[in-house]
Amino acid sequence: FFFVHVVGLSYIVNMVLIERCDDEGCILTTPLKACETEHQTWHIVFITAMSCIGGCLVGLWGSSTILGTSFWFPQLSLTRTLGISAQYNYPTMQLSNHPTVVPHTEVQAAWPRRGPHDRTMSLRANEEEMMSQPQRIGDVDLSEVLELSKHAVLEAGKIVSRAWGPGTGRSTVEATKSGTADLVTVTDQQCEEIISRLIKERFPSHVIIGEETVGDTYSLTNEPTWTIDPVDGTTNFVHRWPWTAILISFIVDKEVLVAVTYDAISDELYWATKGGGSFLKSPRYEGPIQTSGTQSIDKSVVIMEVGYRRDPLTVSQTSHCLAGLMQKNVRSVRMAGSCGLNIAAVASGKIDAYFEEGSWELNSGTKIWDFAGGKLLVEEAGGVIMDPSGAPFDLMGRNVFVAASAALADELREVLQEAKAKAEAETGGAG
């Protein structure tokens, strides 16, 4: 843009205002034919060349600084060319059926949460090349599953955005499920309906486990299964707190193969495929994501949730967990309210750990639609997910425990186990 305008203007100026030298000095005149000597001709060539060079530099500066990336070289900006540090200078990928081809080159990545851990990532020709696992499971094309999942959450996201409105005030369209802290809205139901319809149109034989349709009565088999949480973080949604997401996962043989998480309010789309890595597309960043890699509590920001139970055991255990983290000099603690986005925050390095405990006996804690996709998202980003007891993670369980590294997970589990023991001693284990 700048190149065309500056060079074009320079050419016009040179055509109209040419220096003509005579015995009495140089004056400005108009006709190009007035340049009759070799000296005058070379003078014109020099001015034109300098105008072109200046136009190129201004064009490169304009496209790098104003547009955020070079118009000609998506991986290169003027700040990088001159060795100047830029705070946000991300690789470019395109969310579509045919991702933008990116040269295979080593670049220094600026991740969503910047810290002391510099990373160098290798960008391959496109996202599909990074998926090392076979793209078909039986008759199912996983790339088609991924694209359908993205399309479904974006369609549901339109409903969420319309219902969100200006983002102020409290929603009046709400109802309770298991208690006053467990809410459901018409938006939840509408989003689940549209996602289920899109899945059934393409895969009519697949099983669907949706939060608003199955309730507590569901089971997981080896059949191709989709999980749907239409509005994860409904309480946030009702109170207009912008931390809510639409979650979809695809499971075969009880293994999560595709995961999609979409925050319609901030327009952030996360996705992962088994063996193919985790990705984020947002207004500020497009590309692969990784956990922070944090190793210890004293350098961590941790999310813990209180859930919707208020019995003595839950209250006591929550209090002891918070106290234990503070005694370990945790950097900070958050209670955010969306399991799916909490896990996505760990996967993208914004948060270092997240945990939420529950049980079937007390009918508390998270369920498969809350964390199935997040399990794949954080694992493909280099993090760990397990049961707080240290046992392997169970998709049919009610606990979720996610950390940026195994070392951090071990340290946090000690805090949780100690808090649980103290709470049971105080309350006699009565929930």
| H-assigned helices in 66-114 | 78-81
* Structure-token match 């220096």, residue found: 19
Measured in residues, the chain has a length of 431
C-alpha distances in Å from residue 230, one per residue of 38, 187, 221 = 76, 8, 22
Give backbone dihedrals phi and psi of 377, rounded to 5 degrees, phi first: -60, -45
Q: Rounded to an integer, what is the distance from CA 426 to the centroid of its chain?
A: 41
Q: Tell me the C-alpha distance between 16 and 11, whole Å.
A: 9
Give backbone dihedrals phi and psi of 104, rounded to 5 degrees, phi first: -80, 100
Residue 430 identity: A
DSSP for 279-320?
Answer: EEE-SS-EEE-------SGGG-EEEE---S--SHHHHHHHHH
Looking at the DSSP bridge assignments, the partners of residue 287 are 280
Cβ neighbours around 200 below 10 Å, total: 13
- Binding site per annotation, positions: 211, 229, 232, 370
> Whose CA is closest to 365, among 374, 375, 355, 378?
355
Q: Quick check: 250 and 225 in contact, CB under 8 A?
A: yes
Q: Tell me the C-alpha distance between 255 and 328, whole Å.
A: 35
Q: Quick check: 225 and 175 in contact, CB under 8 A?
A: no
Structure tokens at 199: 């899945």
Q: Quick check: 264 and 279 in contact, CB under 8 A?
A: no
Q: Quick check: 273 and 133 in contact, CB under 8 A?
A: yes
Q: Quick check: 149 and 271 in contact, CB under 8 A?
A: yes
Q: Tell me the C-alpha distance between 74 and 131, whole Å.
A: 23
Q: Rounded to an integer, what is the distance from CA 301 to the centroid of its chain?
A: 18
Q: Quick check: 219 and 152 in contact, CB under 8 A?
A: no
Looking at the DSSP bridge assignments, the partners of residue 226 are 208, 250
Q: Tell me the C-alpha distance between 103 and 74, whole Å.
A: 10
- Binding site per annotation, positions for Mg(2+): 211, 229, 232, 370
> Whose CA is closest to 342, among 389, 279, 400?
400
Residue 387 identity: D
